[in-house]
Amino acid sequence: MIGLNHYLLLSGVLFCLGVLGVILRRNVLIILMSVELMLNAANIAIAAFSRYPLFNAGTLTQEDYMTAGNGLVFVFLILTVSAAEVGVGLAVVINLYRQRSTVNIEEVNLLQG
C-alpha cells in the first residue's frame, strides 16, 4: 500500500538530484533545469501532504479536512512562479550567450573582477 512516506521519499530523492545538478554541472541551462527538478519535488511533497493530512499530528479532524482549503492551490501557485522563473532565466541566458558566447558559469566572472 502506498502511503505518504513513499511520496516524501521520492520527493526527497528528486530534490537531492536537483541539488546535485546545481552543484556538479557548470552549464547554466542544466542548472536551470535542476532548479525545475527541485521545484517539482517540492510540488510532489505538497500534493502528497494535501492528500494524506497528518490527523494525529495536531488537532485536525476529518471534518476540518473536508472544509479546509485545498493544498493543491499552492502547487498551482508554485507552477506559476516557476514558469515565470524559467521565462526570465532563459532571457538572461540568451543575453549572456549574446555577450559572452558561453553558457559555462565558470567563465562568467565579471563581478569578481
Partner 1 sequence: MAATLFFWLCAFLAFFFGLGVIVARNPMHSALSLVMTFVASAGLFLLLHAEFLAWILIIVYSGAVMVLMIFVISLLNLQRDEPIEFTAARRWGVAFVVVFAAALLIYLFRDASVGFTYPPKPAISAEWGSAKAIATDLFTRYLLPFELASVLLTAAVIGAVVIARKPDPNEINGMESTGEEPSNQ
53 forms part of the interface with partner 1 (CB under 8 A) = yes
What angle do helix axes 4-24 and 28-51 make, rounded to 10 degrees?
Answer: 170
- In the bound state with partner 1, the residue whose beta carbon lies nearer, of 25 and 108, is 25
Cα end-to-end distance, the chain, whole Å: 56
Count of residues in the chain: 113
Q: Which of 42, 93, 107, 110 binds partner 1 (CB under 8 A)?
A: 93
35 forms part of the interface with partner 1 (CB under 8 A) = no
Task: Name every residue whose Cβ is closer than 8 Å to that of residue 33 and which is 6 or more positions away in sequence.
Answer: 21
95 forms part of the interface with partner 1 (CB under 8 A) = yes
45 forms part of the interface with partner 1 (CB under 8 A) = no
105 forms part of the interface with partner 1 (CB under 8 A) = no
